[in-house]
Amino acid sequence: MKLTKYIIRYCLPGLTVASLAACNKLDEYNPGGSTAETTWTNPEGFVTLVNAAYNYQRDWYGQSENGLFVAETGTDLWFNQNRAGYANQLTRYEGLTGSQGNPNINSWRAIWPAINLCNAGIGRIDAAGFTSEADKNKRLGELHFLRGFYYWHVVEQWGGVMLLTTETNGPLVTATRSTVEEFYQLIISDLEFALANLPDTWGSEYSRATRKSALGFLARAYLSRAYYFTAGSAEATANFTRARDYANQLITNAGTYGVSLYANYADVFLAGNNKANKEALYVVSTSSNPVLNYDSRGNRSQLWFQTKYDDGRKPGVSNAGGLEYGNTQEQRLMPTRALLDMYAQNDPRYAATFQEVWRANTAYTWTAGDATIYRKEASVVGKVLTPGVDTAVWVTRQSVPDKASRPYVVIDRDSTYNSATGAIYSGVNFPRMKKFNDPAGTRIGTLDFIVMRLAEMYMISAEAEMQLNNPGVAAQRINEMRARGGSLPVDRTVTVADINLDFILDERAREFAGEYQRWFDLKRTKKIIDRVNRLNPDIVQLKNDANPGRFYLRPIPQGDLDAMLNGREFGQNPGY
């Protein structure tokens, strides 16, 4: 099977090159051996295998754009910037097949070598010479956590495909499908083993999985699994209950696990808080040394939500002295009007999530020519913009009736979105999602990617309580999360009457926009078709497709199926 070609190609370097396993804040050991048999037979060498199993997360979280497209696009929140067709198989569901949609294919092929490393470590650890059972089980806990972590991504994206639990050393030319339930049995078993054996902290090696990581992913896994059962059934109730209980365990004992909500939502995303983020339950770390990162590109998430502030035409803004407001070379996504409107005017999460104002960074005096271009009144001519003081550009979700009299460029909602439908007119200028802003302003970012944070536990608990017919408790949990505070007092008075699935999804958008969760949220709740059709008018494929339900799963790369001896029997996912 072609899949094995990728497992072998990507995993064998992990057996021989210790640098592949390098991970920021993960101690390195280079024994100089050339085979798994010589490297992994002592505890120090075995850690290189564990480190290598972490490394592949970076393809999904920050260091390539694959994870962005499979986790955020094709939803109610985002569309291609400037209405571009880039990766339209996922952003618009147009032409998505097993042969098209590179982020889908790339994500599939990046995850299997990681799973193979986990299986290899679990199978080989008894021969690694650990003299301490506790130390051995900690490393085994990491591998079980990572295998559960990776398989959750597999089953949610591609469904019941092959469930491999032993190391693959040679060509795998046949494969057998497993059920979604079999996947979840293994995922939960792996995470429960991790919970029982991982430490609360690894000290300076903060990006390793810990007990709080396992608790968080157990809550997420049980919540996802619950929706596969009939609503109201004993199985659904049991899984929603477990999701709630694991989430509540983290909330109640947050201090024990060294986590807490920041008092100000914006502080979660400050670069100064990134490397020791007190709200993070699990992070994918990035080194300031690009050699140590996956394909040497660092975390590039700061590039993909950028607006074109530096087009050379906006008075008072220049990138001649450096990219003061961030690099704009790889724009990918812009927000839908629906996303911008989900935030109340007094919700501090909007200002912490989106940038609307760019201050002048070069001296400028308004000319008659520029006033004409930007449809300004004559009174604007001669007005001076002082660097670092005056607004140069305002791109806003608001409607601004007096644009002509303001001595700066104003691009309001009605310039970007159709006032009647919300469809995009122009996708060049839009409020910029700034959570991933890297002050370095370079293409190769050095910030960590926060995969899961404590606030998610409040939302998991609330969603589970709603499904357990406890809307009052659900409202309480959301109010507790909102009570973190901020620069303005957010409305904390969610009531029982507010609680329904759409409200939960709106609140998750307000809290987690852009954090690589949205497609999973809509898939879990079976809301992709409904919410995309209502809230993202630029995606029309779901309305026109004869079988839009097929988009709840991704297609398996056809080349991998063609290389299998039993590819026809294994089968493509339905509808592809």
16 pLDDT higher than 90: no
Whether 408 and 554 map to the same domain: the answer is no
Mean pLDDT, residues 428-447: 87
C-alpha separations of 29 from 128, 158, 360 in Å: 15, 36, 48
Q: Does 561 fall in a domain?
A: yes
Higher pLDDT pick, 188 / 3:
188
Number of domains in the chain: 2
Q: Does 481 fall in a domain?
A: no
Whether 317 and 194 map to the same domain: the answer is no
pLDDT per residue over 93-146, tens digit each?
999 999 987 899 999 999 999 999 999 999 999 999 999 999 999 999 999 999
- Strand 357-359 relative to strand 449-453: parallel, antiparallel, unpaired? unpaired
Q: Does 538 fall in a domain?
A: no
Q: pLDDT confidence of 296, banded at 50, 70, 90?
A: confident
Mean pLDDT, residues 443-461: 95
63: containing domain: 1-198+546-576
pLDDT per residue over 261-283, tens digit each?
999 999 999 999 999 999 999 99
546 pLDDT higher than 50: yes
The rounded radius of gyration (Å) of the Cα atoms in the chain is 24
CA dist 361 and 147 (Å) reads 48
Least confident of 152-156, 318-322, 362-366, 500-504: 318-322
Q: Does 207 fall in a domain?
A: no
Whether 173 and 321 map to the same domain: the answer is no
Average pLDDT, the chain: 90
Q: Does 519 fall in a domain?
A: no
Q: pLDDT confidence of 486, banded at 50, 70, 90?
A: low
19 pLDDT higher than 70: no
Closest to 57 (Cα-Cα) out of 516, 524, 445: 516
Whether 26 and 169 map to the same domain: the answer is yes
Closest to 473 (Cα-Cα) out of 465, 482, 481, 483: 465
Mean pLDDT, residues 332-341: 97
Q: What angle do CA 236, 238, 240 make, to 5 degrees?
A: 65
pLDDT per residue over 298-317, tens digit each?
888 888 898 887 776 789 98
CA dist 559 and 554 (Å) reads 15
Whether 60 and 188 map to the same domain: the answer is yes
Among residues 408, 433, 458, which one ends one of the domains? 433
Report the CATH number that the domain containing residue 574 is assigned in CATH: 1.25.40.890
pLDDT per residue over 216-252, tens digit each?
999 999 999 999 999 999 999 999 999 999 999 999 9
CA dist 447 and 299 (Å) reads 6
C-alpha separations of 93 from 74, 337, 450 in Å: 7, 20, 27
Helix (H) or strand (E) holding 225: helix 211-226
Whether 417 and 554 map to the same domain: the answer is no
Residue 7: predicted pLDDT: 32
Q: pLDDT confidence of 381, banded at 50, 70, 90?
A: very high
Q: Does 204 fall in a domain?
A: no
Q: Does 340 fall in a domain?
A: yes
CA dist 470 and 462 (Å) reads 9
Among residues 401, 433, 465, which one ends one of the domains? 433
pLDDT per residue over 52-108, tens digit each?
999 999 999 988 899 999 999 999 999 998 788 889 999 999 999 999 878 999 999
Task: Note the helical H segments in 320-453.
Answer: 337-341, 348-353, 368-373, 413-416
Q: Does 470 fall in a domain?
A: no
pLDDT per residue over 28-52, tens digit each?
444 444 577 778 999 999 999 999 9
Q: pLDDT confidence of 485, banded at 50, 70, 90?
A: low
Among residues 379, 407, 433, which one ends one of the domains? 433
Helix (H) or strand (E) holding 284: strand 280-284
Position 41: which residue type?
T
Whether 9 and 139 map to the same domain: the answer is yes
351 pLDDT higher than 90: yes
Residue 439: predicted pLDDT: 83
Q: What is the pTM of this model?
A: 0.92
Whether 423 and 565 map to the same domain: the answer is no
Residue 29: predicted pLDDT: 44
